[in-house]
Structure 1
Amino acid sequence: MRLTVLGCAGSVNGPGAACSGYLVQAEGFDPVLIDCGHGVFGELLAHADPNTVSVLLSHLHADHCVDLAAMLVWRRWAPEPATGRSPLVGPPGTAVRIGAASSEYPGEVDDISDTYDVQEWQDRRKVELNGLVIEPFKVNHPPSTFGLRITGPDGAVLTYSGDTGVCDEVVELARDSDLFLCEASWTHDPENRPPNLHLSGTEAGQVAQKAGVRSLGLTHIVPWTDADAILDEARAEYTGPLQLVHQGQVIEVRPPFPG
């Protein structure tokens, strides 16, 4: 699998920094977009034809989904508009949430079924899409939020925490994965972070260590947080290779060599 980071800012975007958006593609298949927060659609245009992209949403906070309204405009009105519907899989209420963001009129909901075939996650029920097998895990974050375990055709496993506080489910989600893309929104300071919402760098490192992941990529760092401090916190807890992912980065996710 090839992972392209379209955006990785947490909660809000910043100058030249889009919110959550990750393009995943198995060789020989159309791409899949995981999350589509503020600024992601513009970055997507540099890497893929929006008319060929299927979409997976971890949850319905604006920084993870709201740029789908821009993709609807493109798919409907670009010189070569989409000729069919693309899969869109997300939490319960996805069609209403995106339809409300897309509507021209306050209080109304745009019918997006002309463009997207909307399905809803069910905890641990796998979905097969574009050469990938995706298993959703309900995690600890309001509203209904799912981390995703994605297995490619060669057996490589990419896991994505979505947004989550500490919970057993995120450890189970990440277990033995080749790359764990994990949110680490802020430093480990109880005064600055409410419980059951996001992970600190310390907590992200602890989850990765418990899960035995082969590598850790930290993401969803909010613009006002010290990213280097978060990296140091995670490094103190996790003994494997780790990095801060960055916008525009391309990562090849491969299974371990036999033996």
Structure 2
Amino acid sequence: MKRYINLLLAFGLSAFTLQSCFQDMDHPAFDYPDSSAGKEYSPMKLFLPFENDMRDKGNYTFLMSAGGEITYTDGVNGQAYQGTKDSYLLARVPSYLNDTIPELGSCTVAFWMKTTRNTSAYGIFSIPNTKTFWGNFDIYLENTGSETQAFFKMHLYNCTSVKDNDERWVEAKVDNVFGTEWVHMAFVYDGDNSMMTVYRNGESALTKELPGYGKLKFKDWGTFAIGAFQFSTKPSLTEGAGAQSWASNFPGQLDQFRFYDRAISASEIKQLYSGKE
């Protein structure tokens, strides 16, 4: 009897060992990355290629979310974001960039766009200021009467030791933007020389000095808005304003949207254009 029990125990142990081996084969161990590991530095802080999703494909992995229903269409390179008056994107800054954004210094925003003439102001990009009507850094399309010429406006707040919110505006009327063709736009602020430059299809369309403005320093900043003003999201990204009747979300198409924490060079911008990047 005792020998019979020992045989049963041995058989059971062998079966358990064999089953464990098969389980290990079916479910191999995964080498999960360490989510707390440091990120390799890149001046490109945000990259949205819009390949049928809104995920940030850059090094820093902004957490993306949508306002309204998001759809995609044929882009200049793969797929593109199709905006509507009821949709926009939000990009929440990851915690390990919390020291970078308020001390930005310089920046570049670059993207491909396609849209027809606007009849209301279209929000394109905002680094919000959660306390004021305008954001810390805004790019939008102002109302225009031209079928082809776009009227871009850039708004900046700079928090310096001299003035808490030093507000500046840059206006750029850029030919041959509206229509059925994709156009590459880049907006560069260089804090070393207080210069704003706007590029269309790799070529300078406007250069304007902001005397004494210096390196950008933001306060009360928040989640980035793409395809919207800071006050036209639901809820508003600022306590300083709600939706405005004259302002609309961007209803056109965007592709290869990039944000840098430095003023990238003219040759780098030309490469983005020529490479359809």
TM-score (norm 2): 0.27
| Bigger strand share | 2
| Bigger helix share | 1
Which protein, 1 or 2, shows the higher relative CO under an 8 Å CA cutoff with sep ≥ 6?
A: 2
- Tell me which structure has the larger Cα radius of gyration: 2
TM-score (norm 1): 0.29
